[in-house]
Amino acid sequence: MPVEINGHVYYRTAEVCQMVGIGKSTLFRWMKDNVIKEAEHRDRKGWRLFTEDELRAITTETSRIQRNHVSPGAAASAVKR
């Protein structure tokens, strides 16, 4: 459930991962590898809070990777044709 702080909507890590269809480890790896930028905001417990813009950037990256991804099995069958 999104959090509203001072009129801005934020999403927690688990929500973002569920919305875009990736695991938390993937999200953390992308942040570590600078594929996406680290969340700018955190709640008082230190949990990351993602803005709508950050969510869009993660969604865009996920879509880009999915478009360019070919599974090894699919690649092998394509070569046999």
pLDDT at position 70: 58
Q: What is the tens place of the pLDDT at every residue in 39-80?
A: 999 999 999 999 999 999 999 999 998 888 755 555 444 455
- In whole angstroms, what is the distance from residue 39 CA to residue 51 CA? 8
Residue owning tokens 């809070």: 49
**Domains in the chain, please, with CATH?**
3-63 (1.10.1660.10)
Q: What is the tens place of the pLDDT at every residue in 10-45?
A: 999 999 999 999 999 999 999 999 999 999 999 999
List, in sequence order, every residue forming a beta bridge with 8; answer none if it has no partner.
5
What tokens appear for 5 in the block? 């702080």
